[in-house]
A and B are shown apart, each in its own frame.
Chain A
Amino acid sequence: MKKERSKKYRRVRALRVLTQSFFFGLFGYLLLVSHYTGEDYLGKPVDAFFRFDPLIALTTLVAGRVVLTWMPIAAAVLVLTLVLGRFVCGWICPLGSLHQAFSFIFKKAGLLKPKREETASTGWKYLVLAVVLVGSAFALNLAGWLDPLSFLVRSFTTAVLPAAALGLSQVVRLLYAIPFPALAQPLSQFINNLAVNTVFFQAFAVGLLFLGALLLNIRKERFWCRYLCPAGALLGLAARWNVLKLRIDEDACIKCGLCTQHCQTQAEPYPNPKWRSSECVYCATCAAICPTAAIGFPASPKPEPVKTIDVRKRRVVLASLVGLAAAPLVRVAPAAKRAHVKLIRPPGALPEPEFLARCVKCGECMKACPTNGLQPTLFEAGLEGLWTPRLVPTIGYCEYYCSLCTQVCPTDAIRELTIEDKVQVKIGTSWINKNRCIPYALGKPCIVCEEHCPTSPKAIKLVLVQAALPDGTVSTQKAPVIDQDLCIGCGICENKCPVVDEPAIFVTSIGEQRSETNRLLLPVIGDGE
């Protein structure tokens, strides 16, 4: 018996690594250019990866009760998976590639030692999928938390990139201190040009989860892909009639078991009848490492009894019940009854129930926001809305001529707006705390909010007011008054207010145009000026 590994499949494996690198690079590129690059309109499909994600498409379709133009692409991926198997997981998915890269590193470092035979059930992810899909039926969008793309974009946007940018800026500080301005200056300008937002609520939690997901690769190769990923599960369900079937040349096979031990996703290539097409991601590792080149993936359109997925029906029923129970349970919270004072949604956001049904918490909008003002929620929108976007004016305001967040939303939970339309959208209402406002309370000049108010005419007017000073004298100053018909709730007044700890002018969600209940002033019928 000639002991030689398959040249062909080693080439296929190399091609696969190249493909993965390409798609990961593309993913990173699209994420990095999701910001103001000098044009009002991005002109790039920065959310392109989501359009190829059948899980996002299916949950948006079901939970959001909406058909979006890109959904046929996701459907095509599903159809392709029917005949080609989970190639998306093995060759394209950027999170899958990242997990695989870390698995590879942990293996090389001796931290990950794959068992010769793995007995853990790969069925968990199908249960996750069941919960997500049943939730969708009740307009509860659970996909966002575990969908691989949402998970990756959110982790990169709110934790990884900010941490990297902070690290780089420390390098800049060091270079200036040396001093080596010849390098410090271009590096600093480069960082500035990338416009990476560096301040995020929940960054620690999201970052820790991301780190945890990567470290799970120490326990099992591609742990996430094997046991958790609901998108992988959906593709696994679809991979039933795949044409390319794993074949072991029984004459050549020396029964070493390397293929099964090093299978990235526990598809059990050996013995041949055990191979599960629903788990195989066509990474070609088994075929490439087989010492006798006994493994191949010949095309065989003939359907045959494939081993069913490793999940018990009873558990699926249980998981479905969880999804069923989750929908009313999360809505028992008061968030659904009354708008949260600080839940200022981005311009173009749909009315709250539809918004929640569609938002996948990916954080693309937070990446694109030029002022860092869009932040992941904690419980402002209820448990259901965890990590959905809200504007936090003390961090960043809504830039007047910008509609980037509306351009990048993959599920149109934030409706795409032209700049002309965007400047008309009211997202909240500004209020003055006269007890803290400098002219009102301290009798000193200020007008900073008025100066920054972007509308023309300004929503902040100045009137003369008198303030009693501690010495008994009276000071007359120009003080701000808000014209609610003109205020769009952008929050620049709150952001720039010199009373920095708790601004004397602040925006709350009331008056937001998208809501019929969170209203302030009713337009008076027949009030023809």
Chain B
Amino acid sequence: MKRREALKDIALGGLVLGLGRGAAARPRHGVAAQTPSPAKTAPDLSVISAESPAAAARAAVAALGGMAAFVGRGDKVIIKPNIGWDRTPEMAACTNPEVVAALVGLVLEAGAKEAVVMDNTTNQAKRCYVRSGIAEAAKQAGAKVLFTDDYRLKKTALQGAWLKEWDVFADFLEADKVINVPIAKVHSLTRLSMGMKNWLGAIGGARHQLHQKLDEAMVDLAAFFKPALTVLDAYRILVKNGPQGGRLSDTRLVKTIIAGRDQVAVDAFGATLFDVQPGELAYLRIAQERGLGRHELGGLTIEKRTV
């Protein structure tokens, strides 16, 4: 089943059956149904520390059963890093380019037809793409790196609890699989900006109005985009002056990559890096209530390693 068909079905299913978001959204990508189910030993989360961001990213995906568990042969895959700011990698405002490149490599090795990398940036798109190092690194790894294109915005039924419809870039609707590659940062409104916040870069329109109910908006968007895989870049995290920092002293080297199927769980683990209890984050609580995922780390199997 193509992703866009799945989306339609889910939207319809959710509407007709009045199912909870989680239940409705779970088979969205048909990940569990189509791709070989991960080995029984595959953990819920992999948390890998390494000197090399790329090595950590590869090991994190491998621990979850490898990219083949998420991406099928011939899939059109879209990889969504955070390229939001005109900042260089050491400022930890955008996803580490090596992590993005590593994922592009893994996706293509898994037999994907194409790997698209894009983000709706905040500063001038070209500056963000270039100075984050992501455009070059992703291109080198074989990705198709695209600027978002306003003509590709489609008014889309999100069927969220708050957001009923919004402008979404068609590239995300047409992809068979979506992989989220956020970076871990502090944020004044949601406290932390990680995977679920990253979806604001997949949409257009008056995004800043979402801040009036940002936690709800993030959950609605996350439920809609529900990625096959979330890889949280915590190689260098932003601990001050979020979400764009500006000085090296705003960042902290953690040298860790967190990956998982459950985007709520990934963000929950990310929160602990900032000494924040996941349950303190409103959006994680809402997400769990809606069955989007689990933020209580106690019940999860976590593979934690240093490579």
With contacts A36-B124, A192-B149, A454-B244 taken as known, whether A498 is within 8 angstroms of B130 at the C-beta atoms is no
Q: Is the CB of B211 closer than 8 A to any CB of chain A?
A: yes
8 Å CB contact of A370 from B127, B146, B212: B127
Is B147 an interface position by the 8 A CB rule? yes
List the B side residues contacting A500 at CB < 8 Å.
206
Segment with Cβ contacts to A, from B37-45, B64-72, B223-231, B245-253: B245-253
Interface contacts beyond A457-B240, A496-B122: sample of 14 additional A-B pairs, CB < 8 Å, sorted by A: A36-B124, A36-B127, A38-B130, A176-B151, A189-B149, A193-B126, A399-B86, A401-B127, A401-B131, A402-B86, A448-B208, A451-B187, A451-B242, A498-B208
Q: CB distance B149 to A451 under 8 Å?
A: no
* B246 pairs with A454, CB closer than 8 A: yes
User: Digit string of A381-408 for contact with B (CB within 8 Å is 1, else 0)?
Assistant: 0000000000000000001111000000
Interface of B with A (CB < 8 Å)?
86, 122-127, 130-131, 146-147, 149, 151-152, 187-189, 206, 208-209, 211-214, 240-247, 250
Q: Mark A144-182, 1 if CB is under 8 A from B, else 0.
A: 000000000000000000000000010011001000000
Which residue of chain A has the shortest Cβ distance to B188 in the bound complex? A447
Contacts known (A184-B151, A189-B146, A192-B149); A451 close to B206, Cβ less than 8 A = no
Residues of B within 8 A of A188 (CB): 147, 149, 151
Total cross-chain contacts (CB, 8 A): 92
| A454-B246, A498-B208 known; A176-B152 Cβ under 8 A | yes
Q: Are B86 and A456 in contact (CB under 8 A)?
A: no
Q: In the docked arrangement, what's the CA distance between A399 and B127, Å?
A: 10
B246 close to A455 (CB less than 8 A): yes
Of B124, B126, B211, the contact of A448 (CB 8 Å cutoff): B211
**Nearest B-chain residue to A496, judged by Cβ:** B208
- Determine if B122 and A450 form an interchain contact, defined as CB atoms under 8 angstroms apart: no
The answer to whether A402 touches B151 (Cβ under 8 A) is: no
Which residues does chain A contribute within 8 Å of B122, judged by CB atoms? 452, 496
Tell me the minimal C-beta distance from A436 to chain B in angstroms.
14
In the complex, chain B residues whose CB is within 8 Å of the CB of A213 = none
With contact pairs A444-B212, A446-B212, A456-B247 given, residues A451 and B126 touching in the complex (Cβ less than 8 Å) = no
Given B86, B189, B208, B247, which contacts A401 in the complex, CB threshold below 8 Å?
Answer: B86
Contact across chains for B241 and A456 when beta carbons are under 8 A apart? yes
Q: Does B147 lie within 8 Å of A192, measured CB to CB?
A: yes
CB distance from A139 to the nearest CB of B (A): 36
The CA of A401 and the CA of B132, in the complex, are separated in Å by 13
Residue of A nearest to B88 (CB): A401
Contact at A445–B212, with CB atoms within 8 Å? yes
Q: Determine how close the nearest CB of chain A comes to the CB of B15; give it in whole angstroms.
A: 27
Beta-carbon contact of B188 and A450 below 8 Å? yes
Min CB gap B194→A, angstroms: 15
Given A451-B243, A454-B246, A370 and B189 touching (CB < 8 A)? no
Q: Whole-angstrom distance between the alpha carbons of A252 and B241 in the complex?
A: 83
**B211 & A478 in contact (Cβ 8 Å cutoff):** no
Interface assignment of A356: CB less than 8 Å from any CB of chain B: no
- 8 Å CB interface, A460-474 against B: 462
Instruction: Answer yes or no: A438 CB below 8 A from chain B CBs.
Output: yes
Which A residues, 14 to 36, have Cβ-Cβ distances below 8 Å to chain B?
36
Partner of A458, one of B86, B123, B241: B241
* B151 contact set on A, CB distance < 8 A: 169, 172-173, 176, 184, 188
With contacts A185-B149, A401-B86, A458-B241 known, is A370 near B126, CB below 8 A? yes
Given contacts A444-B212, A462-B188, A36 and B206 within 8 Å (CB-CB): no
Cα–Cα distance between A455 and B126 once the two chains are bound (Å): 20
Residue of B nearest to A460 (CB): B188
**Contact call A195/B124, Cβ cutoff below 8 A:** yes
Residues of A near B246 (CB, < 8 A) are 454-456
**In contact, B125 and A192 (Cβ under 8 angstroms):** yes
A371 close to B (CB within 8 Å): yes
- Chain B residues contacting A448 (CB-CB under 8 Å) are 208, 211
**Are B124 and A399 neighbours in the complex by a CB distance under 8 Å?**
yes
Bound CA–CA A121/B245 (angstroms):
64
Chain A residues, Cβ within 8 Å of B123: 399-400
A452 to B189, CA, bound (A): 13
A498 to B131 Cα, complex, angstroms: 27
Please give the distance in Å from B221's CB to the nearest CB on chain A: 17
For window 184-230 of A, CB contacts with B under 8 Å fall at: 184-185, 188-189, 192-193, 195
Please give the distance in Å from A37's CB to the nearest CB on chain B: 8
